[in-house]
Amino acid sequence: MPKVIFIAPDSSRRELESPAGWSVMEAAIQNDVLGIVAECGGGCACATCHVIVDEAWAAQLAPASPNENDLLECTAAPRTATSRLSCQLKISASLDGLTVQIPDRQT
């Protein structure tokens, strides 16, 4: 199974294996990763699953949809050039090792 690496605000790392097809948010929620709130449950209707994708991976992702882009303007932590909503990032074999930073706050 592909791995996703979550970097917490305190710089601690958590590496998880997750089934392909799951979102990064689903992997986080199913494994009790702190800092991913996901109030809307993955419906791309809030911004509480905000992550900052490692620059080495950012170019490998599909661009944010207009809806995701709009929601990224509403994140509690400042948006960065590689900010994404983890509910919109689908895990696949080609993203094995995807690394994301969890912001210091979601609400």
| Residue 86 belongs to a domain | yes
- Which sign does the torsion angle of CA 68, 71, 72, 75 carry? negative
List C-alpha distances in Å: 88 to 10, 11, 12, 41, 50. 24, 23, 24, 11, 10
CATH code for the domain of 77: 3.10.20.30
Indicate the pLDDT class of residue 94, thresholds 50, 70 and 90.
very high
What domain count does the chain have?
1
| Residue 23 belongs to a domain | yes
| Residue 106 belongs to a domain | no
What pLDDT, on a 0 to 100 scale, did the predictor assign at position 88?
Answer: 98
| Residue 18 belongs to a domain | yes
| Residue 107 belongs to a domain | no
pLDDT tens per residue across span 35-93: 999 999 999 999 999 999 999 999 999 999 999 999 999 999 999 999 999 999 999 99
Domain around 33: 3-101
